[in-house]
Amino acid sequence: MKPFLAHPFDDDKLKEECGVFGVIGVAEAANFVALGLHALQHRGQEAGGIVSHDPETGFNSARRFGYVRDNFTKASLMDTLPGELAIGHVRYSTSGTKSNTAIRDVQPFFGEFSMGGCALAHNGNITNAIALRRELIERGSIFQSSSDSECIIHLMARSIQSNIPERMKDALRRVEGAFSIVAMTRSKLIGVRDPLGVRPLMLGKLGDGWVLSSETCALDIIGADFVREIEPGEMVVISGNG
């Protein structure tokens, strides 16, 4: 009997046409993330998600099907996403339909490690995902979604490195394919681009804060200044004070 390599209720994979966005060092960061995701809506119309962090309430998340404007413009929802640090993702899938996609497949994904939590939004495709998933399942990992992107969280959990950025580097050494990633810890915004630079990732400045985005159009909509493109193979780790 072959071990199952995907979630038994889903046959839906995230493809490269997704959008990622993150903000740090700005009050009500989630509102800026929502605007950024709206500008990136052409990269994914199926669903969207935002995770924020606030020192008093910790990590908070919201994931919804449909357009950003129909979900993340409601004050009742955005009030549940406080803090000066937030990331978001808009999802596009080429197989399956909305009716058989579960909310568990909507990013950002979250992992809790001994040194704290990490939320991760991934744009790209992992070409060795089947082999990684098989290995991780055989070693005891329990997958909660049908997304290949979840492999990164499980690989990070198995790393022996002492901090989250180094664990992410460890995990990505095992990953083959093209990707850009926007992630966050309790106090840092992280951006990573694949070694060949196939998937785009931009760095912007917003007042005293910083922004990561799949495209410059999302920087424009929030009034952020374009700083530079993240280099192929580069990881940037940004704290609240830069």
In tens, the pLDDT along 74-113 reads 999 999 999 999 999 999 864 334 555 689 999 999 999 9
Least confident residue range of 17-26, 89-98, 146-155:
89-98
Q: What is the mean pLDDT of residues 144-165?
A: 94
205, amino acid identity? K
Q: How confident is the model at residue 173 (pLDDT cuts 50, 70, 90)?
A: very high
- Residue 201 has a pLDDT of 98
Q: By three-state DSSP, how is residue 150 classified?
A: helix
Closest CA to 224 of 242, 240, 202: 202
**Domains of the chain by range and CATH?**
19-126+179-239 (3.60.20.10)
- Residue 85 has a pLDDT of 98
Q: What is the mean pLDDT of residues 219-240?
A: 97
| 18 is known as an active-site residue | yes
The residue from 18, 118, 151, 217 that is catalytic is 18
The answer to whether the pTM exceeds 0.75 is: yes
CB-hemisphere CA count at 13 Å for 43? 28
Between CA 119 and CA 128 the distance in angstroms is 22
Q: By three-state DSSP, how is residue 31 classified?
A: helix
